[in-house]
Homo-oligomer: A and B are copies of this chain.
Amino acid sequence: MDIAVYMADVGQQARKAATAVARSTTAVRNQALLATAEALDASRNELAAANARDLEHGRSSGLDDAMLDRLELTPARIDAMIEGLRQVASLPDPIGEITDMTYRPSGIQVGRMRVPLGVIGIIYESRPNVTVEAASLCLKSGNATILRGGSEAIHSNQAIAECLARGLSDAGLPGNAVQVIKTTDRAAVGELITMPRFVDVIVPRGGKGLIERISRDARVPVIKHLDGICHVYIDSHADPEKALAVALNSKTQRYGTCNTMETLLVDQEIASDILPLLAEAFREKGVELRGCEQTVQILPDVAAATEEDWATEYLAPILAVKVVDGLDGAIAHINCYSSQHTDSIITENFTRARRFLTEVDSASVMVNASTRFADGFEYGLGAEIGISTDKIHARGPVGLEGLTSQKYVVFGDGHIRT
């Protein structure tokens, strides 16, 4: 197979289908989502068989247990895919909304209409349920999608693709509105990210290495999510109970997520009072602390942090702890080491909260709340295609709106410019 020819054809088909999807009504797109859910439910045997092939091949080629776990389509995961499709169908349709319509002195009316982006390319790793999740969000927001999952999930993804095709067909939408790439050749990714004629935006989902590589080589815009080095700063005016609860929750509610706290900052005015309490709480949870010089003076059992610790996303029960010189010290540290994902201040002081919100340059800034809230569902977006650490287009959790754009609409009555 000539990959460049194949991908150009996929792109061309997607572009064509995108027009049909963009013109389709809310009801039609919802019908496609619900019919896909039914097709998945009716295809449990086929899905299990395809997934078994992937798992077998994965085991024989030496995939580790974590990878095999992500690859597996258990009945519960199929249930979750079906439920996810129904949820996306029930979300409000973002497309077509006209806002800010106002009269201008010239007499024309000017407003903005929300429209799909067009064709969205999704590149992800082994989890086959991402196929349904990403396709459903793109379809709901009126876009065509080209999906490129990990090669180890190729049979599972093709089985899911068949269900998507049946769902689209049931609603009278072109099957090419969602295309799952049929080859495992890595050259397909290289083509997908360099076809601005056919692809409007790329959303990579996976490890930092994958995302950096794609961002570097892409010739189309990328909505990207790099690392989450999130901070909680406990101010001297913090309520100690809230501080303990939020710090503990930000670190220990889940260790492996991007919105987990990786560095705890403590105001030096209260460090000797609160650090022993925090250390005790984290010890109970089995979290290893790594402290700055001042932290180690207060907590002699704690190992010394190195410069590298401040810049590390552990995704593990390890926490870097630093004593800082008040709010200025905290903001300076965060704006130097934060990955601009999510940072939270714990304080009862209005002025300090206000300064933190303004001066911390991160996608989510919080007051007296756990960093773990930085999530599309918790924010009320209804769904999440990813969390953007970019500043352009979409910042923070990206829901349906991030897969759309706004065009200007102008109404006149034969108006001309003079």
Q: Mark A229-255, 1 if CB is under 8 A from B, else 0.
A: 000000000010110011011000100
**Contact indicator A96/B358 (Cβ below 8 Å):** yes
Question: A331: shortest Cβ distance to chain B, in Å?
Answer: 9
Question: A13: shortest Cβ distance to chain B, in Å?
Answer: 16
A253 to B416 Cα, complex, angstroms: 9
A118 to B391 Cα, complex, angstroms: 9
A115 to B106 Cα, complex, angstroms: 31
**Contact indicator A417/B249 (Cβ below 8 Å):** yes
**Contact indicator B408/A363 (Cβ below 8 Å):** yes
Known: A380-B104, A392-B200, A393-B393. A335 touches B19 (CB 8 A): yes
**Residue of A241, A242, A370, A391 with most chain B CB atoms under a 10 A cut-off:** A391
Would you call A298 an interface residue if the criterion is a C-beta within 8 Å of the partner chain's C-beta atoms? Answer: no
* Copies of this chain per assembly: 2
Interface of A is mostly: mixed
Give the interface size bracket for A toward B.
Answer: 35 or more
**Contact indicator A367/B410 (Cβ below 8 Å):** yes
**Contact indicator B113/A369 (Cβ below 8 Å):** no
Mark out the residues of chain A between 286 and 300 whose CB falls within 8 Å of any chain B CB in the assembled complex: none
Would you call A141 an interface residue if the criterion is a C-beta within 8 Å of the partner chain's C-beta atoms? Answer: no
Given contacts A19-B359, A364-B409, 6 further A-B contacts (CB under 8 A): A104-B379, A106-B378, A248-B416, A364-B407, A369-B415, A396-B407
Chain A residues in contact with chain B, CB under 8 A?
Answer: 19, 22-23, 96, 102, 104, 106, 108, 110, 113, 115, 117-118, 200-201, 216, 219, 221, 239, 241-242, 245-246, 248-249, 253, 335, 344, 346, 357-359, 361-370, 372-374, 378-380, 390-393, 395-397, 405-418
The 29 sampled A-B contact pairs (Cβ below 8 Å) are A19-B361, A22-B359, A23-B359, A108-B373, A108-B378, A110-B378, A110-B379, A113-B357, A113-B358, A117-B392, A200-B391, A200-B392, A242-B414, A245-B414, A246-B412, A253-B418, A357-B409, A363-B407, A366-B412, A368-B414, A368-B415, A369-B415, A369-B416, A373-B412, A374-B410, A378-B417, A392-B393, A393-B393, A395-B407
